Amino acid sequence: MTDTETRAETGFDSAEHQARLKELYRDFEAAGMTLLWLTREGLMPFRSQPRAVPHLWRWADLLPLAARSAELVPVGRGGERRAISLGNPGLTGDPYTTPTLWAAIQYLAPREDAPEHRHTQSAFRFVLEGEGVWTVVDGDPVAMRRGDLLLTPGWAFHGHQNVSDAPMAWLDGLDIPLVAETDQGFFEFGPDQVRNRKTPDRSASERLWGQPGLTPVALAGTRPASPLVAYRWAHTDAALAAQLELEAEGLPGVLEPGHAAVRYTNPASGGDALTTMRTEFHRLAAGAATRRSRTSASSVWQVFDGTGSVRLNDSGHQLERGDVIAIPAWTEFSLTADGQLDLFTFSDAPVFEKLNLLRTEFS
């Protein structure tokens, strides 16, 4: 007996039935109640169905816009940062890059300061180019230079100062959408100017935690976020180069042929550097390509150097230095390098790994 037969037999399709049903649905609506049988497919799709779409922003477009804003808008208390977020075209109404991630270009004019504050959102800065800015994290001034990753773990006070005569722009990554949509946001102002104006080459964080495998005994004990807040380009570059060299020697290290990858990790736990975001750097040797894959994590990528192309579902794009790509969950994705191709990426994978929800498929 099919559903249709059942309905016929029981009068489920009669006019009277339809009238009573209409009345019932009105009553449900009045009570703010929703019927799963009418909404199941949208609420619980057969597979991940993001509203967000794959998207690519050109650095060549972003940087001039940011520069123009520096001429017209000061950085100050309240607005806090000259940060301009990359809104996913699919997520209309919200300035979100993916449903959990917020990527922005931040711009600091010469000799400019961004005031101190702290928030529960985790944040990082990744530097495509330039130098001259120090970000002060819980009082510790941390130099920012091309290729560096700088962390601001949740609830750490931080401000920035540009001590140079050149402007500086970089990529900001935060978990703003995740925190906003789940009501976990708390925020506090700090001093209007950074509390420590020193400009050391190496932060206290690096001096304490920046020697490989060495833990200060006084500070041992796993922390949720990394006590190391600066990951320098020279180390990242060396680690990636080593993986490709070891591949040539027939030794393990690369993720797949011609594809080196490092994850920025918390030296006190070996886990992700930030609790809500995974940060990695990938290098493809000239001519190499990644397998096509899709994952339920969403991610953002920035081309650091080199040329190549990206495939997002059925559409391909040439990549240039600085380009930023948003990749929603379950987007089929692959990279191909022309010359050597270097990319920074961050994703929400740790969230779903911890919740036992993360899925990844290779095709």
Residues 211-250 that bind a copy of itself (CB under 8 A): 211-220, 222, 224-226, 228, 231, 235-236, 238-239, 242-243, 245-246, 249
Q: Taking CB under 8 A as the rule, does residue 156 contact a copy of itself? A: no
Applying CB under 8 A, which part among 129-137, 158-166, 257-265, 308-316 lies near a copy of itself? 257-265
Measured from the CB atom, is 162 or 298 closer to a copy of itself? 298
Q: Within 46-65, which residues bind a copy of itself (CB under 8 A)?
A: 46-50, 52, 57, 61-62, 65
User: Shortest distance, CB of residue 14 to a copy of itself, whole angstroms?
Assistant: 11
Q: Taking CB under 8 A as the rule, does residue 316 contact a copy of itself? A: no
Give the whole-angstrom CA distance, residue 319 versus residue 308: 5
Q: Within 88-117, which residues bind a copy of itself (CB under 8 A)?
A: 88-89, 95, 99-100, 102, 104
Q: Within 9-28, which residues bind a copy of itself (CB under 8 A)?
A: 10, 12, 17, 20-21, 24, 27-28
Choose among 132, 330, 312, 156: nearest CA to 226.
156
Applying CB under 8 A, which part among 156-164, 199-207, 284-292, 333-341 lies near a copy of itself? 199-207
* 164, 110 contact by CB (below 8 A): yes
Choose among 161, 121, 157, 126: nearest CA to 302.
126
Kindly tell me which residue out of 329, 335, 337, 349 binds a copy of itself, with binding defined by CB under 8 A. Answer: 329
For residue 45, CA distances in Å to 60, 178, 180 come to 38, 21, 24
Give the whole-angstrom CA distance, residue 108 versus residue 208: 28
* 149, 124 contact by CB (below 8 A): yes
9 phi, psi to nearest 5 deg: -60, -40
Measured from the CB atom, is 12 or 362 closer to a copy of itself? 12
Q: Taking CB under 8 A as the rule, does residue 191 contact a copy of itself? A: no
Q: Within 269-308, which residues bind a copy of itself (CB under 8 A)?
A: 269-270, 273, 275-276, 280, 296, 298
Q: Site for a copy of itself (CB under 8 A): how many residues?
A: 140
Q: Within 124-153, which residues bind a copy of itself (CB under 8 A)?
A: none
Buried-exposed string 335-362: b where 16+ CB fall within 10 A, e elsewhere? bbbeebbbbbbbbbbbbbeeeeebeeee
User: Shortest distance, CB of residue 226 to a copy of itself, whole angstroms?
Assistant: 7
SS3 for 241? helix
Choose among 212, 15, 169: nearest CA to 83.
169
Applying CB under 8 A, which part among 39-47, 128-136, 284-292, 314-322 lies near a copy of itself? 39-47
* 151, 276 contact by CB (below 8 A): no
- The distance from CA 267 to its chain's CA centroid, rounded to whole angstroms, is 20
